[in-house]
């Protein structure tokens, strides 16, 4: 029978040495730091939103996480994406996918229609309820803000809109954007 109440290695100090414990904790912290850096550089990263373009959903100053690894064929209507700005390639913009390749999209009196049906998604209802447009829908001046299309989205492209449609630049002015311009998708 083996006795478990005594150490089988003679002259070993009992307990863990404090310096070994500190060394182990420091190694764990350094490994955790580098794992976090690798995850942020290769997989998911926080992005501080500096403009009001995605308000009310993502106000300026918020920091949602974006996935860099995604399947472009898996993008769906309503996904929030990080895009390379088509007119300024060194800049990025965050927009919501409103229509996919082959779909017809239009805005009539501030209401979004996809394939001739009003879009009745949760995010569209929330945006419509919280946005404060000045006055009635405009038929001149900011025609592209309140009325746009109809546009059939070409293959390999998407139609994107900002949640804050009063002041933001999106596919109403830029037209459909290439799928290759999508750099990341919001992590849900």
Tens of pLDDT along 68-96? 888 888 898 889 999 988 888 888 898 99
Q: How far apart are CA 176 and CA 154, in angstroms?
A: 8
User: What pLDDT is stored for residue 58 in this prediction?
Assistant: 84
pLDDT score of 45 more than 50: yes
DSSP letter (8 states) at residue 156: T
pLDDT score of 121 more than 80: no
Measured CA to CA in angstroms, residue 119 lies from 107, 111, 112, 124, 160 at distances of 10, 8, 6, 7, 14
**Vertex 112 angle, CA 145 and 50, to 5°:** 55
pLDDT digits (tens, 9 = 90+) for 125-181: 676 666 655 555 444 444 456 667 788 999 999 999 888 877 788 888 888 999 989
Q: What is the mean pLDDT of residues 26-40?
A: 78
Instruction: Pick the most confident of 1-5, 6-10, 46-50, 76-80.
Output: 76-80
List, in sequence order, every residue forming a beta bridge with 60; answer none if it has no partner. none
User: What pLDDT is stored for residue 138 in this prediction?
Assistant: 46
pLDDT score of 44 more than 60: yes
Q: What is the mean pLDDT of residues 32-46?
A: 72
> What structural domains and CATH numbers belong to the chain?
45-131+138-186 (2.10.109.10)
Q: What is the mean pLDDT of residues 104-109?
A: 84
Q: What is the mean pLDDT of residues 38-57?
A: 76
């Amino acid at each position: 029978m083996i006795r478990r109440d005594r150490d089988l290695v003679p002259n070993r100090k009992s307990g863990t040495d404090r310096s070994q414990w500190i060394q182990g904790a420091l190694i764990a912290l350094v490994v955790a730091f580098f794992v976090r850096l690798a995850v942020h550089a290769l997989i998911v990263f926080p992005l501080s939103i500096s403009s009001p373009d995605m308000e009310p959903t993502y106000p300026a100053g918020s920091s949602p996480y974006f996935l860099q690894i995604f399947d472009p064929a898996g993008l769906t209507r309503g996904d929030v994406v990080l895009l390379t700005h088509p007119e300024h390639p060194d800049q990025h913009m965050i927009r919501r996918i409103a229509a996919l390749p082959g779909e017809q999209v239009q805005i009539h009196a501030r209401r979004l229609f996809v394939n001739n049906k009003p879009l009745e998604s949760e995010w569209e209802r929330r945006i419509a309820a919280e946005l404060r447009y000045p006055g009635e829908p405009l038929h001149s001046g900011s025609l592209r803000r309140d009325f746009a299309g109809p546009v059939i989205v070409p293959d390999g492209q998407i139609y994107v809109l900002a949640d804050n449609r009063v002041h933001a630049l999106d596919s109403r002015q830029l037209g459909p954007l290439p799928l290759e311009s999508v750099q990341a998708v919001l992590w849900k």
